[in-house]
Copies of this chain bind each other. A is one copy, B any other.
Amino acid sequence: MSVSPPAAAMLDADDLLALADDALIAAQRLGGWVSLAPVLEEDVALANIALDQLGVARALLTRFGELEGRGRSEDDLAYWRTPAELRNALLVERPDGQDFGVLVVRLLLLSTAQLHRYAALRSVPDPTVAAVLAKAVAEVSYHRDHARTWLLRLGDGTHESHDRVQRALEAEWPYLAELLTPQTGATVRGQLADDIAAATLVVPSEPDDPTPYAGGREGRHTEHLAPLLATMQEVARAHPGAVW
């Protein structure tokens, strides 16, 4: 698989948190799919992908906490921040209405963006982060393959599946931009265009106004993040200071 060449890799604390939160919230949404997949093999695969994303989230949150120097653990960061303190892109927090087509499209966009971002950052000076991302490149490359295989099946399957996945693509596409950087944007868009064409689907046009599709990096989220966090944080917050 071709990935962007390593370049002068830059990663500040905000970027680190953004990557961690993308993975954290993606894992949370994916975890909600377990026992709801269309075939049993897919329950296994989605749990696996959720586990990978969660693993990256935990490692990066831990590292962020160390660098921040305020003594916050991965759990302090996951369970005790408010929605406005999270830095994930909007794509991962949106509910999917238990629609497998939406799940597939969203996973394809996320994993392709993550793949090239992680690959570009494998050479950051921070050895912990570099090691986490080097391992994660292999994982998200698998996630991408998995999503792409499903995109093919759905896009080139039945009329119904073609229409459904095209509609999902139209709905999710505007959120892609927030996951890209100047360094990765062209490669990611190029690969996705190839995937979409191979699946006999059409690349959606860009929104006239991209503003409402981004904001997570500055803590401006959709109405959906607060309920997601309320569920995730419910038990932990009912027992402040407890160990689990």
Contacts and interface: CB of A to CB of B under 8 A. Distances in A.
Given A227-B231, A230-B230, A231-B227, A238 B237 contact: yes
A208 interface: no
Contact of A237 (B226, B231, B237): B237
Dominant secondary structure at the A interface: helix
A237 B239 CA distance: 11
A234 B230 CA distance: 6
Contacts of A237: 237-238
A231 B230 CA distance: 7
A82 interface: yes
Interface string A203-244: 000000000000000000000001100110010011000000
Most buried by B among A226, A231, A234: A234
Nearest to A230: B234
A82 B238 contact: yes
Contacts of A230: 230-231, 234
A230 B227 CA distance: 10
Contacts of A234: 226-227, 230, 234
Interface in A57-88: 82
A226 B238 CA distance: 12
A227 B237 CA distance: 14
A227 B82 CA distance: 19
Ranked nearest first, the 6 interchain pairs of A and B with the lowest CB-CB distance are A230-B234, A230-B230, A237-B237, A230-B231, A227-B231, A237-B238
Interface of A: 82, 226-227, 230-231, 234, 237-238
Given A230-B230, A237-B237, 8 more contacts: A82-B238, A226-B234, A227-B231, A227-B234, A230-B231, A230-B234, A234-B234, A237-B238
